[in-house]
Structure 1
Amino acid sequence: MARVSPETLEVPLPAVTLSCLAWGPPDGPLAVLLHGFPDTAWTWRHLGPVLAEQGWRVVAPHTRGYAPSGLPRDGDLHVAALMADAVGVHDALGGDDRAVLVGHDWGAITANALGAHPRSPYARVVAMAVPPLTAITRGGPLVLARQATMSWYTLFNQLPVLPERTFERLVRHLWAAWSPGYDAGEDLERVLASLREPAHRSAALGYYRAVTRPWQVEAAYRDWHRTWTGTPTVPALTLHGAQDGCLHPRIAERAGAVLVEGAGHFLQLERPAEVGRLVSSFLAG
């Protein structure tokens, strides 16, 4: 029987030490779950125990820059670095060829990117709330115009200083706009605690800033970088909230996503039973 209360693991990697939540038998096949912005590994508090009950060893890192994980010593916050960290977790924990990767938001971008890379150790990937980035152009002119207004925060986060200074207001606004009607009190408390320190806030915002600076990818991550916008070639499942206020559901639907009714951006929290059923069925093959 799975532990509902997670264990805590520290996974030392070359550039950062990741603090992870873990559920399930230590000898089970590995399932790595990656959170997004603005969130923490606690976003998996429902799905983690569900998968653990099915025998998976579930490990959910606080990704680089999100306390209690460390700040990356190489300063790299590109998707390629997140990909390398996910591979590093697999290697450090003795994952085998049954391992799967589940991601939400930035974690979904990472999962899709690794699913497209020939050296990925993950047999299957699940992406929530973000389809493969090449699909973002699908949706038609009206949908794309609407998406442009929904994505205002990506430009705002490029500004110096101001996003850090208004961080709490920004985070509260995004949760309310992206998942309207969801009581995010517990999640907001955790993410604001995780990113209380200025350096950690800058790291979380740095994910967005890194996208506009591809020439700054560290040499160790350049091979991973070549598929960061790729479409998975391994079996993949994309899930999307039908009321997502972050990325227009029409875009995700045209990319082949399964829409989860009654859910916004944080579908794994808003509809945990439905998401657990869909993910479990997919991972069972």
Structure 2
Amino acid sequence: MPHHRHVRLNGIDLHVAEQGEGPLVLLLHGFPETWYAWRHQLGALADAGYRVVAPDQRGYGASDRPGGVDQYSILHLVGDVVALIRELGEERAVVVGHDWGAMVAWNTALLRPGVVRGVVGISVPPLPRGPLPPLTVSRRRFGDGFYQNHFQRPGVAEAELGKDVAATLRLTYGGVPDPEPSGGFLGLFAEPETLPAWLTEEDLATFVEQFTESGFTGGLNWYRNIDRNWELTAAWQDAPITPPSLYISGENDVVRHFYAMDDAARAIVPNLRAVIDVPGCGHWTQQERPEVVTDALLDFLREL
């Protein structure tokens, strides 16, 4: 079982779940998730001889939730990863991320390659910095109703997602795309008849308890920095992500419709070891197909 504690870094407290001894592996969750999204990988990687640490990233779970939107830029998020590695008494780590956590992992490897032994992105591939602000691009491609644009107005998405936390997470994790979507974010999904096979009632209750306590503002503030992140990373335009890397994606992951592992993405990861497509898998990759993801991680770790 993982050990839970808080660490103080960059002026905030981060809650971490930690298990095992050996080379350090950090597991970074996405939205809307917490450390618990890695429940299947913590013990398996620890048993294989690794020290595995899954934080609640800033704004999530039992970690601190700074009030200012500007406290959730990519520089803050990467800074938390670098400071966490140091706080754990290590110089380097393998950094694994899913969804938004993948964005943080890729950017940690880009901005601070010296502290990254290897980087794994799950669901979200490495994203080359384009010529236009990302929200402008998504608005042109998908309209103002695209969820990332919808999340920009403080208070609106909070009210929608926080009205019924259990219903929100049930739809987000288990809902299927609604053929006749209505407004907002939750309107994209149809109510599932049952929970997906990978999510038990106990799992859902754990997430519900965590988000009832934390709310959704912290996670939404990550989205509210998308264009700011584009501005802050101008100096890294066309810079390669040099550590050894791995990309894992569910073949049915909706993210594929707007972020592709294409030639442009591959060009910025010159040490890409493999691209793994997980058959029959949706977006919640490491929860839906834990054995496949764990095996892929272990193969990658052994090669390092």
TM range (shorter): 0.7 to 0.9
Match of 1:258 among 276, 285, 300: 276
> What residue number does 2:73 align with?
78
Q: What code does the residue aligned with 1:278 have?
A: A
Number of residue pairs the alignment of both structures matches: 265
Following TM superposition, by how much is the alpha carbon of 1:191 offset from its aligned partner in structure 2, in angstroms?
Answer: 3.0
> What residue number does 1:157 align with?
151
TM-score by length of 1: 0.81
| Distance across 1 between alignment mates of 2:222 and 2:34 | 14
Q: What code does the residue aligned with 1:13 have?
A: L
Gaps of 5+ in 2: 132-137, 178-188, 267-274
Q: What code does the residue aligned with 2:88 have?
A: L
Counterparts of 1:1-285 in structure 2, within 5 Å, are: 5-25=1-21, 28-72=22-66, 76-97=71-92, 99-118=93-112, 120-134=114-128, 148=142, 152-167=146-161, 168=165, 169-175=167-173, 176-177=175-176, 181-184=196-199, 185-197=201-213, 200-214=215-229, 226-227=235-236, 231-248=240-257, 251-252=260-261, 255=265, 257-285=275-303
Following TM superposition, by how much is the alpha carbon of 1:189 offset from its aligned partner in structure 2, in angstroms?
Answer: 2.8
| Distance across 1 between alignment mates of 2:56 and 2:293 | 21
8 Å contact from structure 2 (residues 97, 105) kept in 1: yes
Which structure would you say has the larger RCO, counting Cα contacts within 8 Å and 6 or more residues apart? Answer: 1
Q: What code does the residue aligned with 1:77 have?
A: Y
**How large is the Cα RMSD of the aligned pairs?**
3.3
Mean Cα displacement is larger for which, 74-83 or 175-184? 175-184
| Distance across 2 between alignment mates of 1:90 and 1:228 | 26
Q: What code does the residue aligned with 2:290 have?
A: P
Q: Who wins on radius of gyration, i.e. which is larger? A: 2
Following TM superposition, by how much is the alpha carbon of 1:83 offset from its aligned partner in structure 2, in angstroms?
Answer: 0.5
Following TM superposition, by how much is the alpha carbon of 1:96 offset from its aligned partner in structure 2, in angstroms?
Answer: 3.1
8 Å contact from structure 2 (residues 113, 243) kept in 1: no
SS in 2 for 1:195: helix
Mean Cα displacement is larger for which, 176-185 or 267-276? 176-185
Per-residue Cα deviation, 1:91-149 (whole angstroms, up to 9, x for no partner) = 0011134x211111111001111111245411101110100112899xxxxxx99x848
Gaps of 5+ in 1: 138-143
8 Å contact from structure 2 (residues 198, 287) kept in 1: no
8 Å contact from structure 1 (residues 113, 228) kept in 2: no
| Distance across 1 between alignment mates of 2:238 and 2:290 | 28
